[in-house]
Structure 1
Amino acid sequence: MSEKKVIEQSTKPNTINSLTRDLQKLGIRRGDNLLVHVSMKALGWTVGGPQAVLQSLMDAVTTEGTLIIQTHSPTLSDPSEWKNPPVPKEWHDTIRQTMPAFDRDKTPSTHLGVLPELFRKFPEVYRSYHPTFSISAWGKHAGEVTKDHQLEYSLGENSPLQKAYDLDAKILLIGVGYDTNTSFHLSEYKADVRKEYVRGAPIQKDGREIWMTYKDIEFNEDAFETIGRDFEADHSVIFGKVGLAESRLFSMRESVDFAAKWLNKE
Protein backbone atom coordinates (compact mmCIF):
# COMPACT_ATOMS: atom_id res chain seq x y z
CA MET A 1 0.00 0.00 0.00
CA SER A 2 1.35 3.42 -0.98
CA GLU A 3 1.69 6.25 1.52
CA LYS A 4 -0.99 8.12 -0.45
CA LYS A 5 -3.49 5.32 0.19
CA VAL A 6 -2.53 5.18 3.87
CA ILE A 7 -3.25 8.92 4.13
CA GLU A 8 -6.57 8.51 2.32
CA GLN A 9 -7.65 5.79 4.76
CA SER A 10 -6.68 7.85 7.82
CA THR A 11 -9.21 10.27 9.32
CA LYS A 12 -6.50 11.86 11.48
CA PRO A 13 -2.78 11.31 12.04
CA ASN A 14 -1.46 9.05 14.75
CA THR A 15 0.98 10.63 17.20
CA ILE A 16 3.27 9.23 19.86
CA ASN A 17 0.78 10.21 22.55
CA SER A 18 -2.28 8.87 20.73
CA LEU A 19 -0.60 5.53 20.06
CA THR A 20 0.58 5.28 23.66
CA ARG A 21 -3.01 5.85 24.81
CA ASP A 22 -4.24 3.16 22.42
CA LEU A 23 -1.65 0.73 23.77
CA GLN A 24 -2.65 1.47 27.35
CA LYS A 25 -6.33 1.11 26.49
CA LEU A 26 -5.54 -2.31 25.01
CA GLY A 27 -4.04 -3.39 28.32
CA ILE A 28 -0.32 -2.72 28.09
CA ARG A 29 1.08 -1.56 31.40
CA ARG A 30 4.26 -0.07 32.84
CA GLY A 31 6.67 -2.93 33.47
CA ASP A 32 5.26 -5.29 30.85
CA ASN A 33 7.63 -7.50 28.89
CA LEU A 34 6.30 -7.25 25.35
CA LEU A 35 7.10 -9.17 22.17
CA VAL A 36 5.75 -7.10 19.27
CA HIS A 37 4.89 -7.57 15.59
CA VAL A 38 3.67 -4.47 13.72
CA SER A 39 2.30 -3.59 10.29
CA MET A 40 3.09 0.08 9.75
CA LYS A 41 0.59 0.37 6.90
CA ALA A 42 -2.24 -1.06 8.99
CA LEU A 43 -1.66 1.57 11.70
CA GLY A 44 -2.64 4.47 9.48
CA TRP A 45 -0.56 7.57 8.83
CA THR A 46 1.70 8.38 11.78
CA VAL A 47 3.55 11.60 12.54
CA GLY A 48 7.18 10.50 12.77
CA GLY A 49 6.56 7.10 11.18
CA PRO A 50 8.30 4.07 12.69
CA GLN A 51 10.35 6.21 15.08
CA ALA A 52 7.14 7.45 16.69
CA VAL A 53 5.69 3.93 16.83
CA LEU A 54 8.75 2.63 18.65
CA GLN A 55 8.70 5.56 21.05
CA SER A 56 5.03 4.93 21.86
CA LEU A 57 5.79 1.28 22.65
CA MET A 58 8.70 2.31 24.87
CA ASP A 59 6.57 4.92 26.61
CA ALA A 60 3.89 2.31 27.28
CA VAL A 61 6.14 -0.31 28.92
CA THR A 62 8.71 2.22 30.28
CA THR A 63 12.24 1.27 31.33
CA GLU A 64 10.66 -0.97 33.97
CA GLY A 65 9.46 -3.23 31.16
CA THR A 66 11.10 -4.78 28.11
CA LEU A 67 10.34 -4.32 24.42
CA ILE A 68 11.34 -7.29 22.24
CA ILE A 69 11.35 -7.32 18.43
CA GLN A 70 12.76 -9.86 15.99
CA THR A 71 15.62 -8.48 13.89
CA HIS A 72 16.29 -11.47 11.68
CA SER A 73 18.71 -11.39 8.75
CA PRO A 74 17.50 -14.27 6.53
CA THR A 75 19.92 -13.42 3.73
CA LEU A 76 22.70 -14.69 6.01
CA SER A 77 21.84 -18.29 5.25
CA ASP A 78 22.82 -21.05 2.87
CA PRO A 79 22.13 -19.93 -0.72
CA SER A 80 20.86 -23.41 -1.54
CA GLU A 81 17.79 -22.52 0.57
CA TRP A 82 16.99 -19.27 -1.22
CA LYS A 83 13.67 -19.45 -3.05
CA ASN A 84 12.50 -15.87 -3.58
CA PRO A 85 14.48 -15.41 -5.70
CA PRO A 86 16.86 -18.37 -6.06
CA VAL A 87 20.40 -17.84 -7.31
CA PRO A 88 22.29 -20.05 -9.78
CA LYS A 89 23.76 -23.16 -8.19
CA GLU A 90 27.21 -22.33 -9.55
CA TRP A 91 27.20 -19.19 -7.38
CA HIS A 92 26.69 -21.03 -4.10
CA ASP A 93 30.33 -21.70 -3.23
CA THR A 94 31.34 -18.11 -3.97
CA ILE A 95 28.52 -16.80 -1.78
CA ARG A 96 29.48 -19.06 1.13
CA GLN A 97 33.15 -18.11 0.83
CA THR A 98 32.68 -14.34 0.58
CA MET A 99 29.49 -13.41 2.45
CA PRO A 100 30.33 -10.94 5.27
CA ALA A 101 29.95 -12.48 8.72
CA PHE A 102 27.14 -11.43 11.01
CA ASP A 103 27.88 -8.23 12.91
CA ARG A 104 25.45 -6.93 15.53
CA ASP A 105 26.03 -3.33 14.43
CA LYS A 106 26.48 -3.68 10.69
CA THR A 107 24.21 -6.52 9.59
CA PRO A 108 20.78 -5.19 8.61
CA SER A 109 17.48 -6.77 9.53
CA THR A 110 15.79 -7.65 6.25
CA HIS A 111 12.40 -8.83 4.93
CA LEU A 112 10.63 -7.70 8.11
CA GLY A 113 9.82 -4.10 7.27
CA VAL A 114 11.36 -0.83 8.40
CA LEU A 115 10.48 -1.06 12.11
CA PRO A 116 12.85 -3.89 13.17
CA GLU A 117 15.73 -2.35 11.22
CA LEU A 118 15.20 0.99 12.97
CA PHE A 119 14.73 -0.65 16.36
CA ARG A 120 18.10 -2.41 16.34
CA LYS A 121 19.77 1.01 15.84
CA PHE A 122 17.97 2.71 18.75
CA PRO A 123 20.02 3.71 21.81
CA GLU A 124 20.20 1.09 24.57
CA VAL A 125 18.87 -1.69 22.34
CA TYR A 126 20.65 -5.03 22.69
CA ARG A 127 20.83 -7.47 19.78
CA SER A 128 21.40 -11.18 20.24
CA TYR A 129 24.30 -12.80 18.39
CA HIS A 130 22.74 -15.08 15.81
CA PRO A 131 23.56 -14.69 12.11
CA THR A 132 20.07 -15.44 10.82
CA PHE A 133 17.59 -15.24 13.70
CA SER A 134 18.76 -12.41 15.94
CA ILE A 135 16.26 -10.81 18.31
CA SER A 136 16.66 -7.34 19.84
CA ALA A 137 15.38 -5.90 23.10
CA TRP A 138 15.18 -2.63 25.01
CA GLY A 139 14.41 -2.03 28.67
CA LYS A 140 14.86 -3.72 32.02
CA HIS A 141 15.61 -7.26 30.82
CA ALA A 142 17.13 -6.43 27.42
CA GLY A 143 20.60 -7.73 28.25
CA GLU A 144 19.24 -10.89 29.84
CA VAL A 145 16.89 -11.65 26.93
CA THR A 146 19.55 -11.26 24.22
CA LYS A 147 22.49 -12.90 26.00
CA ASP A 148 23.95 -16.26 24.89
CA HIS A 149 21.75 -16.90 21.86
CA GLN A 150 22.71 -20.44 20.85
CA LEU A 151 23.56 -20.98 17.17
CA GLU A 152 21.97 -24.43 16.96
CA TYR A 153 18.20 -24.80 17.29
CA SER A 154 18.04 -21.08 16.73
CA LEU A 155 14.59 -20.22 18.12
CA GLY A 156 14.42 -22.98 20.70
CA GLU A 157 15.06 -23.31 24.41
CA ASN A 158 18.43 -21.52 24.32
CA SER A 159 17.13 -18.48 22.47
CA PRO A 160 15.66 -15.09 23.39
CA LEU A 161 12.19 -16.56 22.80
CA GLN A 162 12.60 -18.96 25.71
CA LYS A 163 13.86 -16.12 27.89
CA ALA A 164 10.82 -14.02 26.98
CA TYR A 165 8.66 -17.04 27.79
CA ASP A 166 10.36 -17.38 31.18
CA LEU A 167 9.65 -13.69 31.85
CA ASP A 168 5.95 -14.33 31.17
CA ALA A 169 6.01 -11.86 28.30
CA LYS A 170 2.93 -10.69 26.45
CA ILE A 171 2.59 -10.85 22.67
CA LEU A 172 1.22 -7.87 20.78
CA LEU A 173 0.10 -8.24 17.17
CA ILE A 174 -0.63 -4.86 15.57
CA GLY A 175 -2.32 -5.20 12.20
CA VAL A 176 -0.85 -8.65 11.54
CA GLY A 177 -2.07 -12.23 11.89
CA TYR A 178 -0.87 -15.21 13.86
CA ASP A 179 1.20 -16.31 10.88
CA THR A 180 3.74 -13.64 11.90
CA ASN A 181 3.90 -14.84 15.51
CA THR A 182 7.54 -15.91 15.82
CA SER A 183 6.96 -17.40 19.27
CA PHE A 184 5.05 -20.29 17.70
CA HIS A 185 8.43 -21.47 16.41
CA LEU A 186 9.37 -22.06 20.05
CA SER A 187 6.29 -24.30 20.18
CA GLU A 188 7.67 -26.31 17.26
CA TYR A 189 10.76 -27.15 19.30
CA LYS A 190 8.75 -27.97 22.42
CA ALA A 191 6.42 -30.23 20.43
CA ASP A 192 9.38 -32.05 18.85
CA VAL A 193 7.44 -32.71 15.65
CA ARG A 194 9.68 -31.14 13.03
CA LYS A 195 12.44 -32.75 11.00
CA GLU A 196 16.00 -31.76 11.76
CA TYR A 197 18.31 -30.44 9.09
CA VAL A 198 21.54 -28.49 8.72
CA ARG A 199 21.63 -24.73 8.18
CA GLY A 200 24.65 -22.59 7.35
CA ALA A 201 25.67 -18.97 7.94
CA PRO A 202 28.78 -16.76 8.19
CA ILE A 203 29.91 -15.89 11.72
CA GLN A 204 32.89 -14.37 13.49
CA LYS A 205 34.87 -16.87 15.57
CA ASP A 206 38.25 -16.37 17.24
CA GLY A 207 38.77 -13.17 15.26
CA ARG A 208 38.08 -14.82 11.92
CA GLU A 209 35.11 -14.91 9.58
CA ILE A 210 34.02 -18.47 8.86
CA TRP A 211 31.10 -20.32 7.30
CA MET A 212 29.50 -22.38 10.05
CA THR A 213 26.96 -25.17 9.66
CA TYR A 214 24.60 -25.97 12.51
CA LYS A 215 21.68 -28.20 13.42
CA ASP A 216 18.16 -26.85 13.43
CA ILE A 217 14.60 -27.85 12.59
CA GLU A 218 12.50 -27.17 9.51
CA PHE A 219 10.05 -24.41 10.39
CA ASN A 220 6.50 -24.57 9.05
CA GLU A 221 4.18 -21.62 9.60
CA ASP A 222 1.29 -23.06 7.57
CA ALA A 223 -0.81 -23.89 10.64
CA PHE A 224 0.03 -20.80 12.71
CA GLU A 225 -3.11 -18.88 11.75
CA THR A 226 -5.32 -21.87 12.59
CA ILE A 227 -3.51 -22.41 15.88
CA GLY A 228 -4.07 -18.77 16.79
CA ARG A 229 -7.78 -18.91 16.01
CA ASP A 230 -8.17 -22.08 18.06
CA PHE A 231 -6.26 -20.44 20.91
CA GLU A 232 -8.68 -17.50 20.86
CA ALA A 233 -11.62 -19.85 21.38
CA ASP A 234 -10.39 -21.07 24.78
CA HIS A 235 -8.01 -18.43 26.12
CA SER A 236 -7.92 -14.75 26.97
CA VAL A 237 -7.05 -12.60 23.97
CA ILE A 238 -7.64 -8.85 24.24
CA PHE A 239 -8.84 -7.23 21.03
CA GLY A 240 -8.66 -3.54 20.23
CA LYS A 241 -7.26 -0.94 17.89
CA VAL A 242 -3.88 0.72 17.86
CA GLY A 243 -4.23 3.56 15.41
CA LEU A 244 -6.36 2.00 12.68
CA ALA A 245 -4.85 -1.45 13.14
CA GLU A 246 -6.84 -4.36 14.54
CA SER A 247 -4.64 -5.62 17.36
CA ARG A 248 -4.39 -8.56 19.75
CA LEU A 249 -2.69 -8.87 23.14
CA PHE A 250 -2.20 -12.23 24.86
CA SER A 251 0.07 -14.34 27.03
CA MET A 252 3.17 -15.73 25.34
CA ARG A 253 3.42 -18.61 27.78
CA GLU A 254 -0.20 -19.67 27.36
CA SER A 255 -0.09 -19.43 23.57
CA VAL A 256 3.25 -21.24 23.19
CA ASP A 257 2.09 -24.08 25.44
CA PHE A 258 -1.21 -24.29 23.57
CA ALA A 259 0.53 -24.38 20.18
CA ALA A 260 2.91 -27.13 21.32
CA LYS A 261 -0.03 -29.29 22.42
CA TRP A 262 -1.89 -28.49 19.19
CA LEU A 263 1.10 -29.54 17.07
CA ASN A 264 1.51 -32.78 19.01
CA LYS A 265 -2.07 -33.72 18.19
CA GLU A 266 -1.56 -33.30 14.46
Structure 2
Amino acid sequence: MSTVTSHLVTPQPLLGDERTASQLYELGVRCGGVLLVHASMRSAGGSALSMADALRGALGPEGTLVVPAFTPENSDTSRSYLDRVRSLSDRARAEVRATMPAFDPAASPAPTMGTFAETVRQSPGALRSAHPQTSFAALGPAAAKLLADHRQDCHLGEDSPLARLYDADAQVLLLGTGFDSCTAFHLGEYRRPAPPRRLYRCVVAREGRRRWWEYEDIALDDSDFAAIGADFGHERTGAVSTGRVGAAPSLLFRLRAAVDFATGWLGRHRADGR
Protein backbone atom coordinates (compact mmCIF):
# COMPACT_ATOMS: atom_id res chain seq x y z
CA MET A 1 0.00 0.00 0.00
CA SER A 2 1.51 3.27 -1.07
CA THR A 3 1.33 6.40 0.94
CA VAL A 4 0.93 9.86 -0.61
CA THR A 5 2.52 12.61 1.42
CA SER A 6 1.13 16.15 1.09
CA HIS A 7 3.69 18.96 1.33
CA LEU A 8 2.21 22.35 2.19
CA VAL A 9 4.12 25.21 0.58
CA THR A 10 4.15 28.48 2.46
CA PRO A 11 3.46 31.34 0.02
CA GLN A 12 6.44 33.65 -0.32
CA PRO A 13 5.82 37.35 0.20
CA LEU A 14 5.88 39.42 -2.96
CA LEU A 15 8.96 41.52 -3.58
CA GLY A 16 8.50 45.30 -3.63
CA ASP A 17 8.19 45.69 -7.42
CA GLU A 18 5.96 42.62 -7.69
CA ARG A 19 3.70 43.92 -4.93
CA THR A 20 3.39 47.31 -6.63
CA ALA A 21 2.58 45.67 -9.97
CA SER A 22 -0.08 43.55 -8.25
CA GLN A 23 -1.57 46.67 -6.66
CA LEU A 24 -1.74 48.41 -10.03
CA TYR A 25 -3.55 45.48 -11.66
CA GLU A 26 -5.99 45.24 -8.74
CA LEU A 27 -6.67 48.97 -8.99
CA GLY A 28 -7.54 48.56 -12.67
CA VAL A 29 -4.63 49.97 -14.68
CA ARG A 30 -5.21 48.81 -18.26
CA CYS A 31 -2.44 46.90 -19.98
CA GLY A 32 -1.83 48.56 -23.35
CA GLY A 33 -3.63 51.74 -22.30
CA VAL A 34 -2.62 55.35 -21.77
CA LEU A 35 -2.11 56.51 -18.18
CA LEU A 36 -1.64 60.06 -16.85
CA VAL A 37 0.01 59.93 -13.42
CA HIS A 38 0.26 62.49 -10.64
CA ALA A 39 2.44 60.95 -7.93
CA SER A 40 3.78 61.76 -4.48
CA MET A 41 6.75 59.51 -3.82
CA ARG A 42 6.88 60.79 -0.25
CA SER A 43 3.50 59.16 0.24
CA ALA A 44 4.21 56.06 -1.84
CA GLY A 45 7.65 55.27 -0.45
CA GLY A 46 10.42 53.57 -2.40
CA SER A 47 12.22 55.00 -5.40
CA ALA A 48 10.72 56.94 -8.29
CA LEU A 49 12.63 54.76 -10.75
CA SER A 50 11.16 51.56 -9.30
CA MET A 51 7.68 53.07 -9.42
CA ALA A 52 8.14 54.10 -13.05
CA ASP A 53 9.34 50.59 -13.89
CA ALA A 54 6.33 49.06 -12.12
CA LEU A 55 3.91 51.33 -13.98
CA ARG A 56 5.51 50.64 -17.35
CA GLY A 57 5.38 46.94 -16.56
CA ALA A 58 1.67 47.18 -15.73
CA LEU A 59 1.00 49.12 -18.95
CA GLY A 60 2.99 46.66 -21.04
CA PRO A 61 4.97 47.41 -24.21
CA GLU A 62 1.91 48.85 -25.97
CA GLY A 63 1.02 51.18 -23.10
CA THR A 64 2.05 54.82 -22.68
CA LEU A 65 2.91 56.61 -19.43
CA VAL A 66 2.30 60.38 -19.25
CA VAL A 67 3.25 62.93 -16.57
CA PRO A 68 2.95 66.71 -16.20
CA ALA A 69 6.25 68.55 -16.70
CA PHE A 70 5.08 72.07 -15.86
CA THR A 71 7.59 74.93 -15.45
CA PRO A 72 6.20 77.89 -13.49
CA GLU A 73 9.80 78.84 -12.69
CA ASN A 74 10.21 80.79 -15.95
CA SER A 75 7.10 82.97 -15.59
CA ASP A 76 6.51 86.21 -13.73
CA THR A 77 2.74 85.68 -13.79
CA SER A 78 2.81 82.27 -12.08
CA ARG A 79 1.66 81.67 -8.53
CA SER A 80 5.07 80.33 -7.51
CA TYR A 81 6.84 83.49 -8.75
CA LEU A 82 4.39 85.80 -7.00
CA ASP A 83 4.85 83.86 -3.74
CA ARG A 84 8.62 83.99 -4.17
CA VAL A 85 8.86 87.76 -4.65
CA ARG A 86 6.03 88.88 -2.39
CA SER A 87 8.32 90.38 0.25
CA LEU A 88 11.14 91.47 -2.07
CA SER A 89 12.03 95.01 -3.10
CA ASP A 90 11.49 96.19 -6.66
CA ARG A 91 15.24 95.84 -7.31
CA ALA A 92 15.30 92.29 -5.97
CA ARG A 93 12.29 91.38 -8.08
CA ALA A 94 14.01 92.72 -11.18
CA GLU A 95 17.06 90.59 -10.38
CA VAL A 96 14.90 87.48 -10.09
CA ARG A 97 13.28 88.21 -13.46
CA ALA A 98 16.66 88.82 -15.08
CA THR A 99 17.94 85.39 -14.05
CA MET A 100 14.87 83.35 -14.97
CA PRO A 101 15.91 80.65 -17.45
CA ALA A 102 14.32 80.40 -20.88
CA PHE A 103 12.29 77.24 -21.44
CA ASP A 104 14.15 74.44 -23.20
CA PRO A 105 11.99 71.33 -23.75
CA ALA A 106 15.08 69.13 -23.84
CA ALA A 107 16.62 70.41 -20.62
CA SER A 108 14.34 72.57 -18.46
CA PRO A 109 13.64 70.79 -15.17
CA ALA A 110 10.17 70.61 -13.62
CA PRO A 111 11.00 70.45 -9.90
CA THR A 112 7.53 71.38 -8.65
CA MET A 113 6.10 68.29 -10.37
CA GLY A 114 7.99 65.96 -8.01
CA THR A 115 10.60 63.24 -8.35
CA PHE A 116 8.37 60.76 -10.15
CA ALA A 117 7.47 63.14 -12.98
CA GLU A 118 11.11 64.22 -13.26
CA THR A 119 12.23 60.59 -13.42
CA VAL A 120 9.86 59.91 -16.30
CA ARG A 121 10.82 63.14 -18.10
CA GLN A 122 14.51 62.24 -17.95
CA SER A 123 14.07 58.58 -18.93
CA PRO A 124 15.69 57.41 -22.19
CA GLY A 125 13.17 57.71 -25.01
CA ALA A 126 10.88 60.15 -23.21
CA LEU A 127 9.29 62.92 -25.29
CA ARG A 128 8.04 66.31 -24.12
CA SER A 129 5.45 68.71 -25.52
CA ALA A 130 6.45 72.23 -26.51
CA HIS A 131 4.44 74.52 -24.22
CA PRO A 132 6.84 76.71 -22.18
CA GLN A 133 4.64 76.57 -19.07
CA THR A 134 2.48 73.42 -19.08
CA SER A 135 4.35 70.77 -21.03
CA PHE A 136 3.80 67.02 -20.60
CA ALA A 137 6.33 64.20 -20.87
CA ALA A 138 5.54 60.67 -22.01
CA LEU A 139 7.07 57.23 -22.55
CA GLY A 140 5.55 54.68 -24.89
CA PRO A 141 4.35 54.12 -28.45
CA ALA A 142 1.60 56.77 -28.28
CA ALA A 143 3.87 59.48 -26.85
CA ALA A 144 4.56 61.35 -30.09
CA LYS A 145 0.89 61.48 -31.08
CA LEU A 146 -0.26 62.59 -27.62
CA LEU A 147 2.33 65.36 -27.29
CA ALA A 148 2.40 66.74 -30.84
CA ASP A 149 1.15 70.23 -31.72
CA HIS A 150 0.87 71.58 -28.18
CA ARG A 151 0.09 75.15 -29.13
CA GLN A 152 2.09 77.66 -27.12
CA ASP A 153 -0.90 79.87 -26.33
CA CYS A 154 -3.03 76.95 -25.13
CA HIS A 155 -2.07 75.66 -21.69
CA LEU A 156 -4.47 72.76 -21.17
CA GLY A 157 -7.24 73.06 -23.74
CA GLU A 158 -8.18 71.63 -27.13
CA ASP A 159 -4.69 72.19 -28.57
CA SER A 160 -2.91 70.48 -25.69
CA PRO A 161 -2.07 66.88 -24.72
CA LEU A 162 -5.05 66.87 -22.35
CA ALA A 163 -7.43 66.88 -25.31
CA ARG A 164 -5.40 64.09 -26.97
CA LEU A 165 -5.57 62.10 -23.73
CA TYR A 166 -9.34 62.61 -23.74
CA ASP A 167 -9.54 61.29 -27.31
CA ALA A 168 -7.37 58.28 -26.32
CA ASP A 169 -9.70 57.42 -23.42
CA ALA A 170 -6.75 57.60 -21.03
CA GLN A 171 -6.88 56.70 -17.38
CA VAL A 172 -5.70 59.00 -14.56
CA LEU A 173 -3.82 57.73 -11.53
CA LEU A 174 -3.61 59.98 -8.48
CA LEU A 175 -0.85 58.15 -6.60
CA GLY A 176 -0.72 59.54 -3.10
CA THR A 177 -2.29 62.80 -4.27
CA GLY A 178 -5.85 64.11 -4.26
CA PHE A 179 -8.28 65.59 -6.72
CA ASP A 180 -6.91 69.05 -5.96
CA SER A 181 -3.99 68.12 -8.24
CA CYS A 182 -6.16 66.59 -10.99
CA THR A 183 -4.92 68.41 -14.09
CA ALA A 184 -7.64 66.79 -16.21
CA PHE A 185 -10.29 69.05 -14.66
CA HIS A 186 -8.65 72.03 -16.40
CA LEU A 187 -9.90 70.76 -19.76
CA GLY A 188 -13.41 71.19 -18.35
CA GLU A 189 -12.62 74.87 -17.79
CA TYR A 190 -11.94 75.30 -21.51
CA ARG A 191 -15.20 73.58 -22.40
CA ARG A 192 -17.37 76.03 -20.48
CA PRO A 193 -19.16 78.64 -22.61
CA ALA A 194 -17.04 81.81 -22.78
CA PRO A 195 -14.62 81.08 -19.92
CA PRO A 196 -12.75 84.09 -18.50
CA ARG A 197 -9.31 84.81 -19.96
CA ARG A 198 -6.12 86.50 -18.72
CA LEU A 199 -2.58 87.40 -19.79
CA TYR A 200 0.39 85.13 -19.11
CA ARG A 201 4.08 85.92 -19.51
CA CYS A 202 7.17 83.70 -19.53
CA VAL A 203 10.76 83.50 -20.76
CA VAL A 204 11.35 81.59 -24.00
CA ALA A 205 14.25 81.07 -26.38
CA ARG A 206 13.72 82.40 -29.88
CA GLU A 207 16.43 82.23 -32.55
CA GLY A 208 19.02 81.57 -29.89
CA ARG A 209 18.02 84.56 -27.77
CA ARG A 210 16.30 84.79 -24.39
CA ARG A 211 13.14 86.87 -24.55
CA TRP A 212 9.88 87.48 -22.71
CA TRP A 213 6.70 86.33 -24.39
CA GLU A 214 3.16 87.43 -23.42
CA TYR A 215 0.02 85.63 -24.51
CA GLU A 216 -3.66 85.33 -23.60
CA ASP A 217 -5.34 82.10 -22.48
CA ILE A 218 -8.02 80.76 -20.16
CA ALA A 219 -7.77 81.94 -16.54
CA LEU A 220 -6.91 78.61 -14.92
CA ASP A 221 -8.30 78.08 -11.41
CA ASP A 222 -7.87 74.86 -9.42
CA SER A 223 -9.27 76.20 -6.14
CA ASP A 224 -12.44 74.08 -6.35
CA PHE A 225 -10.91 70.90 -7.81
CA ALA A 226 -11.10 69.04 -4.48
CA ALA A 227 -14.85 69.77 -4.38
CA ILE A 228 -15.28 68.62 -7.99
CA GLY A 229 -13.46 65.39 -7.19
CA ALA A 230 -15.52 64.73 -4.08
CA ASP A 231 -18.76 65.12 -6.04
CA PHE A 232 -17.39 63.07 -8.94
CA GLY A 233 -16.64 60.14 -6.65
CA HIS A 234 -19.97 60.48 -4.84
CA GLU A 235 -22.27 61.02 -7.81
CA ARG A 236 -20.62 58.67 -10.33
CA THR A 237 -20.86 55.34 -8.53
CA GLY A 238 -18.03 53.04 -9.57
CA ALA A 239 -16.23 55.71 -11.60
CA VAL A 240 -13.31 55.95 -9.16
CA SER A 241 -11.29 52.92 -8.05
CA THR A 242 -9.48 53.24 -4.73
CA GLY A 243 -6.57 51.29 -3.30
CA ARG A 244 -2.94 51.49 -2.32
CA VAL A 245 0.03 51.75 -4.66
CA GLY A 246 3.19 51.27 -2.67
CA ALA A 247 2.22 52.77 0.67
CA ALA A 248 0.09 55.52 -0.88
CA PRO A 249 -3.71 55.70 -0.97
CA SER A 250 -4.48 56.13 -4.67
CA LEU A 251 -7.34 56.85 -7.07
CA LEU A 252 -7.84 55.61 -10.64
CA PHE A 253 -10.48 56.80 -13.10
CA ARG A 254 -11.09 57.53 -16.77
CA LEU A 255 -9.96 60.98 -17.83
CA ARG A 256 -12.90 61.33 -20.20
CA ALA A 257 -15.44 60.73 -17.43
CA ALA A 258 -13.68 63.20 -15.14
CA VAL A 259 -13.54 65.95 -17.78
CA ASP A 260 -17.19 65.49 -18.75
CA PHE A 261 -18.24 65.66 -15.10
CA ALA A 262 -16.05 68.72 -14.42
CA THR A 263 -17.45 70.57 -17.43
CA GLY A 264 -21.00 70.19 -16.15
CA TRP A 265 -20.04 70.87 -12.53
CA LEU A 266 -18.23 74.09 -13.40
CA GLY A 267 -21.20 75.30 -15.41
CA ARG A 268 -23.43 74.85 -12.37
CA HIS A 269 -21.15 76.06 -9.61
CA ARG A 270 -18.91 78.80 -10.93
CA ALA A 271 -20.31 82.28 -11.20
CA ASP A 272 -20.20 84.01 -14.59
CA GLY A 273 -16.85 85.62 -15.21
CA ARG A 274 -14.92 83.27 -12.92
Letter in structure 1 aligned against 2:51: V
Q: C-alpha offsets along residues 73-96 of structure 1, whole Å, 9 cap, x if unaligned?
A: 111112685232224333455554
Alignment length, in residue pairs?
Answer: 252
Per the alignment, do residues 92 and 153 of structure 1 end up closer, same or farther by CA in structure 2, a change over 3 Å counting?
A: farther
Is 1:176 the counterpart of 2:185? The answer is no
CA distance in 2, matches of 1:77, 1:127: 19
Write the mapping of 1:1-266 to structure 2, written as runs, cut at 5 A. 15-44=16-45, 46=46, 49-78=47-76, 82-86=81-85, 87-93=88-94, 95-192=96-193, 194-235=195-236, 236-266=239-269
Letter in structure 2 aligned against 1:141: A
Per the alignment, do residues 75 and 17 of structure 1 end up closer, same or farther by CA in structure 2, a change over 3 Å counting?
A: same
CA contact (8 A) 1:193 1:263 kept: no
- Residue 192 (structure 1) shift: 4.2
CA distance in 2, matches of 1:59, 1:192: 41
- Residue 25 (structure 1) shift: 1.2
CA contact (8 A) 2:52 2:120 kept: yes
Match of 1:4 in 2: none
Q: Comparing 189-198 with 138-147, which one deviates more in the overlay?
A: 189-198
CA contact (8 A) 1:34 1:170 kept: yes
Per the alignment, do residues 242 and 98 of structure 1 end up closer, same or farther by CA in structure 2, a change over 3 Å counting?
A: closer
- Root-mean-square deviation (Å): 2.0
Q: Comparing 76-85 with 237-246, which one deviates more in the overlay?
A: 76-85
CA distance in 1, matches of 2:14, 2:71: 31
- Residue 215 (structure 1) shift: 0.8
CA contact (8 A) 1:79 1:95 kept: no
Per the alignment, do residues 244 and 14 of structure 1 end up closer, same or farther by CA in structure 2, a change over 3 Å counting?
A: farther
Identity of aligned residues (%): 36
Q: Comparing 196-205 with 75-84, which one deviates more in the overlay?
A: 75-84
CA distance in 2, matches of 1:96, 1:85: 11
The unaligned stretches of length 5 or more in structure 2 are 1-12, 270-274
Per the alignment, do residues 13 and 62 of structure 1 end up closer, same or farther by CA in structure 2, a change over 3 Å counting?
A: closer
Q: Which runs of 4+ in 1 moved over 4 A?
A: 91-98
Per the alignment, do residues 59 and 77 of structure 1 end up closer, same or farther by CA in structure 2, a change over 3 Å counting?
A: same
Larger radius of gyration: 2
CA distance in 2, matches of 1:259, 1:174: 20
